């Protein structure tokens, strides 16, 4: 089924696991011949796959110095730049596309190489909060559409939040703007939103010492994991964490902790796994969702949920993070992105809305490796959740080419889920009586806030 016809050219920047996985979906669902698609890669990975589809492929790392020289002949008004690269500034690419009149989409706001761990910058300055502020500074007016951070998470999960709110409300009224969605979340009493994910995919052979193993971009995961842990900070929270700080600039929807996300764990819940400990990895959606659902009256914030990622990656990735921390955050010399060697497992990715009258409600995608392989080539369960969301965001951008710079929260969630849905496996909603206080103190006494179980201090391990 072709969702949309596109008359411009498509330039894919980067061709790692997500680029390789999304290409067959683009060719399947967007009316765009292969001779109007080109790939620019910094390292040449996946060239054999591009060749099999007849796609032009150039190996040339982009830098501050050559970005315009390389892209100007390739990207003109009405074209589309799909940014799936690492170590290339998203803000520089967005500014370039806005000037050229080209559409744009990325899956995260990426700094130039080394930006995640640049010790000349303060933790606040190298946070996702700061990267988001720099990208939103380009917003304004009805310019060419640039969709920020639209993978699985950030991206798809913002649409899960809206659908989860509608399921909780159980009525026919669908908000039509940001104020309406924020008012709905406030009316329902949602205090906390976790992006709660458990990946159980396993390979036919185990992680080796000195090797970082993961089901998606290792450079991306390590970069995010080494950034400060970040979370949207809700109005119900009583006490700022001892290692927590507010930013001195921007919208103020989030805080950061003075420790890496990959060493910060939180309690969460998913339907298949039940209670679990996840990493509080910084992500754009932790900030954008908290910001989007903020209610302010007379200049004062009266409602905002606490929002953060709670991620339990595949078991080999957990071992890899443990080893990485022991190496004082110096990445292992070897990488292995699990794909063909995966023998079983499921990626359960959703949003857990808590504090409302019904307790806790999880809504999201449950996609097994068997389902993923049956649905699309060059994907595992994790990558297909990302590539399906990239496809959905691209289709929306092509159908709304003059929306300016926007985040996932501003897109039509129903349209994106319509496009991505067939690739998400089982879409599930589940209620639970779980709280972060369940069975606490059973073995050892703990200091908890029983008056409000939804305090961040109760979630933090």
CA 226 to mean position of chain CA atoms: 16
Domain ranges of the chain: 4-148, 156-385+413-459
**40, 56, 102, 249 from 81: Cα distances, Å:** 11, 15, 7, 30
State the average pLDDT over residues 79-97. 97
Neighbours of 438 (CB within 10 A): 14
The superfamily CATH assigns to domain 156-385+413-459 is homospermidine synthase like (3.30.360.30)
- Is 4-148 a domain of CATH 3.40.50.720? yes
> Is 121 within 8 Å of 146 (Cβ atoms)?
no
Q: pLDDT at residue 52 above 90?
A: yes
CA contacts within 13 A on the Cβ side of 433: 2
31's enclosing H/E stretch is: strand 30-31
CA 136 to mean position of chain CA atoms: 17
Q: pLDDT at residue 114 above 90?
A: no
CA 407 to mean position of chain CA atoms: 11
Neighbours of 28 (CB within 10 A): 12
Give the torsion sign (CA, 41, 282, 272, 322). positive
Q: Please write the tens of the pLDDT for every residue from 187-220.
A: 999 999 999 999 999 999 999 999 999 999 999 9
* pLDDT of 119: 83
Q: At what angle do helices 178-188 and 284-292 cross, to 10 degrees?
A: 90
State the average pLDDT over residues 40-69. 96
Q: Name the residue with tokens 């109007």.
A: 36
Rounded to whole angstroms, the Cα distance separating 247 from 121 reads: 14
Q: Please write the tens of the pLDDT for every residue from 300-332.
A: 999 999 999 999 999 999 999 999 999 999 999
* pLDDT of 22: 98
* pLDDT of 387: 98
Q: Can you give the pTM of this predicted structure?
A: 0.97
Q: Which of left, alpha, beta for 265 (phi over 0: left; psi -120 to 50: alpha)?
A: beta
Give the DSSP per-residue string, 210-258: TEEEESS-HHHHHHHHHSEEEEE--TT--S--TTEEE-SSS---EEEEE
* pLDDT of 446: 87
> Is 185 within 8 Å of 304 (Cβ atoms)?
no
User: Rounded to the nearest 5°, which phi and psi values hold at 443?
Assistant: -100, -40
Locate 384 and state its tokens: 């297909």
CA contacts within 13 A on the Cβ side of 362: 27
Q: At what angle do helices 381-399 and 156-169 cross, to 10 degrees?
A: 90
Residues contacting 165, CB < 8 A, separation 6+: 181, 184, 185, 188, 190, 353
Rounded to whole angstroms, the Cα distance separating 402 from 384 reads: 28
| Strand 426-432, strand 228-232: pairing | unpaired
Q: pLDDT at residue 256 above 90?
A: yes
CB neighbour burial string for 367-391, b if at least 16 within 10 angstroms, e if fewer: bbbebbbebbebbbbbbbbbbbbbb
Cα(first)–Cα(last) distance of the chain, in Å?
A: 46
Residues contacting 299, CB < 8 A, separation 6+: none
User: Rounded to the nearest 5°, which phi and psi values hold at 372?
Assistant: -60, -45
Query: Would you place residue 349 in the very low, low, confident or very high pLDDT band (cuts 50, 70, 90)?
Result: very high
Q: Please write the tens of the pLDDT for every residue from 123-132.
A: 999 999 999 9
User: Rounded to the nearest 5°, which phi and psi values hold at 10?
Assistant: -115, 125
DSSP-based three-state secondary structure for 202: strand
CA 243 to mean position of chain CA atoms: 25
> Is 199 within 8 Å of 207 (Cβ atoms)?
no
Query: Would you place residue 115 in the very low, low, confident or very high pLDDT band (cuts 50, 70, 90)?
Result: confident
Which residue in 320, 369, 405 sits closest to 103, CA to CA?
405
Mean residue pLDDT across the chain? 96
State the average pLDDT over residues 70-78. 98
Q: pLDDT at residue 172 above 90?
A: no
Q: Please write the tens of the pLDDT for every residue from 358-416.
A: 999 999 999 999 999 999 999 999 999 999 999 999 999 999 999 999 999 999 999 99
Residues contacting 256, CB < 8 A, separation 6+: 123, 124, 127, 129, 228, 229, 230, 244, 245, 247, 282
State the average pLDDT over residues 31-37. 97
* pLDDT of 171: 83
Q: Note the helical H segments in 30-71.
A: 47-52, 67-71
Which residue in 376, 382, 336, 345 sits closest to 49, CA to CA?
376
Locate 417 and state its tokens: 């889920």
Of the candidate ranges 52-61, 245-254, 309-318, 442-451, the one whose mean pLDDT is the lowest: 442-451
């Amino acid at each position: 089924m072709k969702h949309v016809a596109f008359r411009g050219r498509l330039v894919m920047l980067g061709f790692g696991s997500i680029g390789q996985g999304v290409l067959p979906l683009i060719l399947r669902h967007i009316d765009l011949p292969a001779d109007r698609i080109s790939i620019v890669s910094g390292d040449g990975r996946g060239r054999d796959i591009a060749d099999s589809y007849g796609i032009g492929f150039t190996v040339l790392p982009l830098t501050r110095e050559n970005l315009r020289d390389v892209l100007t002949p390739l990207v003109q008004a009405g074209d589309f730049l799909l940014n799936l690269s690492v170590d290339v500034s998203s803000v520089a690419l967005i500014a370039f596309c806005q000037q050229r009149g080209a559409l744009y989409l990325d899956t995260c706001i990426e700094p130039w190489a080394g930006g995640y761990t640049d010790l000349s910058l303060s933790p606040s300055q190298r946070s996702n909060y700061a990267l988001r502020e720099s990208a939103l500074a380009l917003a304004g007016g009805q310019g060419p559409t640039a969709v920020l951070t639209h993978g699985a998470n950030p991206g798809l999960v913002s649409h899960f939040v809206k659908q989860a709110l509608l399921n909780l409300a159980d009525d026919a009224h669908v908000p039509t703007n940001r104020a309406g969605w924020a008012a709905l979340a406030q009316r329902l009493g949602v205090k906390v939103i976790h992006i709660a994910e458990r990946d159980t995919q396993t390979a036919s052979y185990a992680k080796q010492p000195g090797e970082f193993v993961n089901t998606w971009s290792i450079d991306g995961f390590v970069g995010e994991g080494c950034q400060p842990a970040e979370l949207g900070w809700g109005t119900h929270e009583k006490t700022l964490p001892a290692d927590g700080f507010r930013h001195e600039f921007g919208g103020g929807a989030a805080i950061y902790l003075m420790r890496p996300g990959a060493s910060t764990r939180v309690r969460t819940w998913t339907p298949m796994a039940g209670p679990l400990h996840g990493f509080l990895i910084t992500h754009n959606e932790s900030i954008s969702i908290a910001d989007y659902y903020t209610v302010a009256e007379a200049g004062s914030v009266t409602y905002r949920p606490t929002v953060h990622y709670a991620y339990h990656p595949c078991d080999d990735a957990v071992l890899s993070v443990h080893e990485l921390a022991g190496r004082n955050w110096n990445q292992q010399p070897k990488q292995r992105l699990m794909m063909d060697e995966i023998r079983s497992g499921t990626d359960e990715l959703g949003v857990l809305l808590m504090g409302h009258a019904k307790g806790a409600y999880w809504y999201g995608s449950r996609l097994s490796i068997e389902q993923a392989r049956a649905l699309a080539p060059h994907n595992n369960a994790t990558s297909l959740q990302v590539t399906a969301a990239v496809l959905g965001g691209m289709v929306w951008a092509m159908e709304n080419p003059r929306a300016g710079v926007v985040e996932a929260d501003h897109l039509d969630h129903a349209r994106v889920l319509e496009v991505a849905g067939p690739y998400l496996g089982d879409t599930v909603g589940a209620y639970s009586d779980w709280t972060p206080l369940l069975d606490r103190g059973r073995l050892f006494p703990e200091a908890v806030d029983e008056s409000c179980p939804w305090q961040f201090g109760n979630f933090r391990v």
